[in-house]
Amino acid sequence: MPGASSSACSSPASAKNTARPNRAFPHLSPTDTPTLKDVARLIKDGKAKRVIVMAGAGISTAAGIPDFRSPGTGLYDNLQRYDLPYPEAIFDLDFLEERPEAFYTLAKELYPGNFKPTTSHYFFRLLQDKGLLHGCWTQNVDTLERATNIKDGLIVEAHGSFASATCTHCKKPYTKEEIKPAIMRGEVVRCAEKPCKGRRDALVKPDIVFFGEGLPEQFFSRMHHFSSCDLLLVLGTSLSVGPFNSLVHRVPSTCPRVLINLESVGEAERPGAQGFEFERDGARDVRWLGEADRGVEELCDLLGWRDELRRLKEEGWRELDAAEGKGVREEKEEGKGAEEKREEVVERVGEAAGEKEPSEEVSNDSKEVDALAQAVEGVSLEAQEDVDEDQTSTKL
């Protein structure tokens, strides 16, 4: 019959015409896989005006700061040989009270002024200068985003930071400048307010999130910004800790999402589930594997921003050196590589904790603690031993 024949012949063409377009990258066909080149095109064409970046420890390793979870090189992995009940104990409130030396040694090593921002940090600043940065959400406590002069109103430090401190007992706030001299001398900082005198639990703790503590209020009050994001950049994070890792799902369904990381993370377990889908037709997700700084440089090359980024970083470093003075960063420190600096941080924190006894086995509790981390967010600590308060404590 003519009618039946006509219908059969038109069916394949109709199916082809109904293929879903790529709403995140309109210039691509539904079967094309988007790359950084396509991301650069969106920015050049003015279709990405509200960029949110989500950053993890991978953007700071190039500065010499160890990340926490990387096998072999991460802080937790390398602290296993020292006398801690488990490596993550370095950020546990109970252990802080019992043996605060380990944390305050880490605080001294990571304190603002000891490290310079990386290329990735200055890329965020460049986005701000071009009026494109809608938010800078970081898991890092090192304040390197602030050091580039990104506006406070754009930064959300999901795990807190060293930018301020609070007494763990009376809750008196302190500035980082007030406690810096004591921390840089390697001393445990105790509050000297009247209700706190003589109390072991009256420690002046930098406002970084320990296990069991709530996230900063800003994390929740600014979460709505993701609903108006039109380009999400995720750099240097394992996306293994919630609720930070859930933020990638808060952008609109048409918003391109870009992962720049050493390894692929955050992928959906099955089609249609939450998570990145890099391979499906009409994908909005882009994956670039490698060091964060290299990925940023490649994107800037595609945008024609490479020289601007280099100048911004050079000028920023000069300003930091002038502000801090060369006494803060001695020449020998300046010449050290990032890996050497990371090893020294781990070694000094480990020395404060003490070596394990030769017969003592390394605990495998870290997996259990990582599960806790995903539930409460942050980083952690716990252990036993007493402290010589006269020699190791400073009161403010």
DSSP β-ladder status, 204-208 and 160-167 = antiparallel
DSSP 8-state secondary structure symbol assigned to residue 114 = S
8 Å CB contact between 223 and 393: no
> Is 255 labelled as part of a ligand binding site?
no
Residue 99 φ then ψ, to 5°: -140, 80
DSSP 8-state secondary structure symbol assigned to residue 80 = G
Which one-letter amino acid corresponds to residue 54?
Answer: M
> Is 281 labelled as part of a ligand binding site?
no
How far apart CA 351 and CA 101 sit, in angstroms, is 10
> Is 141 labelled as part of a ligand binding site?
yes
> Is 142 labelled as part of a ligand binding site?
yes
* Cα-Cα-Cα-Cα dihedral sign, residues 267, 268, 274, 277: positive
> Is 69 labelled as part of a ligand binding site?
yes
> Is 191 labelled as part of a ligand binding site?
yes
Would you give the end-to-end CA distance of the chain in angstroms? 95
> Is 285 labelled as part of a ligand binding site?
no
8 Å CB contact between 279 and 285: no
> Is 263 labelled as part of a ligand binding site?
yes
Cis preceding linkage at 173, omega within 30: no
> Is 114 labelled as part of a ligand binding site?
no
> Is 59 labelled as part of a ligand binding site?
yes
| CA nearest neighbour of 173 among 163, 181, 186 | 163
> Is 80 labelled as part of a ligand binding site?
no
> Is 9 labelled as part of a ligand binding site?
no
**Candidates 121, 134, 159, 225; catalytic one:** 159
> Is 229 labelled as part of a ligand binding site?
no
* Structure tokens, 361: 């086995």
Q: Which residues, in sequence order, are bridge partners of residue 234?
A: 54, 259
Burial pattern 296-331, b for ≥16 Cβ within 10 A else e, equals bbbbbebbebeeebeebbeebeeebeeeeeeeebee
Which one-letter amino acid corresponds to residue 228?
Answer: S
User: Catalytic: 27?
Assistant: no
Feature table: binding site for Zn(2+) = 167, 170, 191, 196
Kindly list the catalytic residues. Answer: 159
Feature table: binding site = 57-61, 67-69, 139-142, 167, 170, 191, 196, 237-238, 261-263
Feature table: binding site for NAD(+) = 57-61, 67-69, 139-142, 237-238, 261-263
